[in-house]
């Protein structure tokens, strides 16, 4: 998408914001677990992306606008999450963002507020959506659970 189309899409999103619908992904299901390979070195990506939604599941078009993450592990997790589209083994990253999550004691669950992207990312064609994780601590199988936030029906 070129700059003029980006400007028009942003304008429509602001002016016609009452026409935006939000949904979470995976829809009507538990969040997707992203668990770092316990044998991986610090800041190493997992070998494979984890599928969040199969092809032909998400609306066409839609916009990736954010994510929510949480963990049930008594460990502070400092890392990066990559959101991608494409067939397994051929994913292309759309966004990467940093997160910090954790529980200081064995009581409770860490729930972080949503992470909102500064600009929506348009996804067309209803592709497979997947994610990957890397974190600061090595030799730990700790991870997070993630739900993506999508905007649909923008300006329609």
Place of tokens 């990506």: 45
Q: What pTM does this model have?
A: 0.79
* pLDDT tens digits, 113-134: 788 999 899 999 999 999 998 8
- What is the C-alpha separation between 16 and 9, in angstroms, rounded? 10
Query: Where does 3-152 sit in CATH, by number?
Result: 2.60.120
Higher-scoring residue by pLDDT: 141, 69? 69
Higher-scoring residue by pLDDT: 28, 93? 93
- What is the C-alpha separation between 81 and 56, in angstroms, rounded? 23
* pLDDT tens digits, 61-104: 999 999 988 876 666 778 899 999 999 999 999 999 988 776 66
Give the containing element (helix H, strand E) for 129.
strand 129-135
- What is the C-alpha separation between 82 and 132, in angstroms, rounded? 5
pLDDT reading at 107 higher than 80: no
């Amino acid at each position: 998408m070129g700059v003029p189309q980006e400007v028009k899409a942003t304008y429509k999103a602001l002016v016609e914001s009452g026409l935006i619908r939000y949904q979470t992904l995976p829809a009507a299901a538990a969040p997707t677990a992203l668990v770092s390979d316990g044998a991986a070195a610090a800041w190493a990506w997992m070998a494979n992306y984890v599928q969040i939604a199969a092809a032909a599941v998400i609306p066409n078009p839609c916009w990736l606008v954010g994510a929510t993450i949480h963990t049930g592990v008594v460990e502070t997790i400092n890392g990066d999450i990559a959101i991608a589209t494409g067939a397994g083994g051929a994913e292309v990253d759309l966004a990467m963002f940093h997160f910090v999550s954790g529980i200081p004691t064995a009581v409770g669950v860490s729930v972080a507020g949503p992470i909102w992207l500064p600009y929506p990312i348009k996804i067309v064609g209803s592709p497979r959506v997947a994610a990957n994780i890397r974190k600061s601590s090595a030799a730990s199988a700790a991870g997070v659970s993630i739900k993506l936030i999508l905007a649909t029906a923008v300006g329609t």
